[in-house]
């Protein structure tokens, strides 16, 4: 497995793979890889004969008060994860490769970025969509693999691909969790032991939501109250939002009378944790 840093090098790798008639799978990441990322690479490995992984902490998706500078970076450890999971090449560009001059063109996905995380992270999805389109243009994958853990991101990227007629397929992979239910995240390593204990309440709240929903409670206010009740058991947890939205439009709804997404962002000390689950759909993407 090679690690390349320039656009010329990654394009050369992809060209060679195409000459051997390989289908190209792509897994974009910010590194600090864990089993959740590994599952995406393994899914790509199953469906594509050549797998490229990007490791890039994209500055344009972080707000000024966010954790860009302290975001964990360890490309050596990440390379071992990638290799074991079956990646063929890692693309780990420097900022000067992706943003050689001040960016003047941005991809803005309207409406879908107004709610949920978009409300609290202005500009975040503009940064995500823009860097993804750069990667898609550089690599030209047949399929790109994203985690349901970042549910709004998946909806935004899918819509960008549709509306810009990008020639690739987006594949969504289930959220991988720790044995106690906490969704795996590179940011979990920020948590102190006490914060880590309380962080389990996010998935517990979502499970409670599913339980109450399955007993016939489809009123959104009641379901949100059930989730907030569980979260309130963690005195150091500060919910930023706890919402239930239409799964396609990501707009608020009053009643779960269609496929819906229950999603939350919770501050735990300096760390912002997110998690979500699907309501009214039979699939295991949230793995709760
Ligand atoms: P990140 O490195 O946080 O930008 O994540 C890269 C990709 O891995 C995104 O598509 C995430 O949704 C996905 N991902 C992150 N955590 C998990 C998880 N626990 N399970 C599955 N996919 C994940």
Task: Looking at the structure, tell me whether residues 152 and 205 fall in a common domain.
Answer: no
The helix (H) or strand (E) run that includes residue 82 is helix 75-85
Regarding whether 109 and 157 lie in a shared domain, the answer is yes
Residue in 177, 157, 103, 135 with CA at minimum distance from that of residue 7: 135
In contact, 131 and 56? CB cutoff 8 Å: yes
16 and 157 in a single domain? The answer is yes
Last residue of a domain, one of 139, 173, 207: 173
End-to-end, the C-alpha distance of the chain in Å comes to 34
C-alpha span between 142 and 22 (Å, rounded): 10
What's the pLDDT tens digit per position in 98-138? 999 999 999 999 999 999 999 999 999 999 999 999 999 99
Pairing outcome for strands 50-55 and 89-91: parallel
Res. 161 pLDDT band, cuts 50 70 90: very high
Residue of 52, 54, 56 lying closest to 25 (CA atoms): 52
Kindly give the number of the ligand 1 atom that is closest to the alpha carbon of 147.
12
> Does a structural domain hold residue 285?
no
Mean pLDDT (the chain) is 97
Ligand 1 close to Cβ of residue 182 (< 6 A): no
Same domain, 169 and 194: no
Q: Among 173, 199, 223, which residue terminates a domain?
A: 173
Q: Is residue 179 part of a domain?
A: no
Instruction: State the residue range of the domain holding 249.
Output: 186-279
Q: Is 150's C-beta closer than 6 angstroms to any atom of ligand 1?
A: yes
- Residue 181 inside a domain? The answer is no
Confidence of residue 281 (pLDDT cuts 50, 70, 90): confident
Which of 26, 149, 188, 284 gets mutated to test ligand 1 (max ligand atoms within 8 A of its CB)?
149
DSSP helix/strand/coil, 3? strand
Is the pLDDT at 154 greater than 90? The verdict is yes
Q: Flag whether 100 is in a domain.
A: yes
Of 54, 127, 42, 53, residue with least CA distance to 86: 42
Q: 275 C-alpha vs ligand 1 centroid, how far in Å?
A: 11
> How do residues 177-214 score in pLDDT, each as one tens digit?
999 999 999 999 999 999 999 999 999 999 999 999 99
Residue 284 pLDDT exceeds 80: no
d(CA 136, CA 1): 20
Q: Is the pLDDT of residue 282 over 90?
A: no
What distance lies between CA 194 and its chain's CA centroid?
25
Based on the domain organization, do 145 and 204 belong to the same domain? Answer: no
The whole model's pTM is what?
0.98
CA-proximal residue: ligand 1, atom 6 (nearest)? 29
- pLDDT, residue 287, reads 84
Q: Is the per-residue pLDDT at 87 higher than 90?
A: yes
The pLDDT score that the predictor gives to residue 16 is: 98
**What band does 286 get if pLDDT is binned at 50, 70 and 90?**
confident
Q: Report yes or no: 19 and 26 within 8 Å, Cβ to Cβ.
A: no
Average pLDDT over residues 226-239: 98
> What confidence tens digit (pLDDT) does each residue in 59-75 have?
999 999 999 999 999 99
Tell me, yes or no, whether 287 lies in a domain.
no
Based on the domain organization, do 116 and 14 belong to the same domain? yes
Residues 68 and 113 occupy one common structural domain: yes
**Number of structural domains in the chain:** 2
CATH number at residue 45: 3.40.50.620
Q: What pLDDT digit, counting tens, does each position of 34-63 carry?
A: 999 999 999 999 999 999 999 999 999 999
Are 166 and 210 found together in one domain?
A: no
> Would you call 238 a catalytic residue per the annotation?
no
Residue 284 lies in a domain: no
CATH number (domain holding residue 262): 3.30.1300.10
User: 283 pLDDT band (50/70/90 cuts)?
Assistant: confident
Are 221 and 159 members of one domain? no
Q: What is the pLDDT of residue 31?
A: 98
Are 160 and 198 in the same domain? Answer: no
């Amino acid at each position: 497995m090679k690690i390349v840093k320039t656009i010329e090098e990654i394009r050369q790798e992809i060209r060679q793979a195409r000459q051997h008639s390989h289908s190209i799978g792509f897994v974009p990441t910010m590194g600090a890889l864990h089993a959740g990322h590994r599952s995406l690479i393994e899914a790509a490995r199953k469906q594509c004969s050549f797998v490229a992984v990007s490791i890039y902490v994209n500055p344009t998706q972080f707000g000024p008060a966010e954790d860009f500078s302290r975001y964990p970076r360890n490309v050596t450890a990440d390379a071992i994860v990638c290799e074991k999971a079956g990646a063929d090449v890692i693309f780990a560009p420097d900022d000067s490769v992706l943003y050689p001059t001040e960016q003047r063109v941005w991809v803005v996905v309207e409406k879908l970025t107004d709610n949920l995380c978009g409300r609290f992270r202005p500009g975040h999805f503009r940064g995500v969509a823009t860097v993804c389109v750069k990667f898609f243009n550089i690599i030209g994958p047949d399929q790109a693999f994203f985690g349901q853990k970042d549910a709004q991101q998946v909806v935004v990227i899918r819509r960008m691909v549709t509306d810009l007629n990008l020639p690739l397929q987006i594949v969504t992979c289930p959220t991988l969790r720790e044995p106690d239910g906490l969704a795996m995240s590179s940011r979990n390593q920020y948590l102190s032991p006490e914060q880590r204990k309380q962080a389990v309440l996010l998935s517990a709240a979502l499970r409670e939501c599913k339980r109450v929903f399955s007993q016939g409670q489809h009123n959104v206010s009641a379901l949100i109250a059930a989730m907030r009740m569980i979260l309130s058991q963690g005195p150091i947890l500060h919910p930023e939002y706890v919402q239930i939205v239409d799964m396609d439009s990501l707009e608020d709804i009053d009643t779960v009378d269609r496929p819906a997404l229950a999603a939350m962002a919770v501050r735990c000390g300096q760390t912002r944790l997110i998690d979500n689950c699907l309501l009214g759909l039979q699939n295991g993407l949230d793995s709760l």
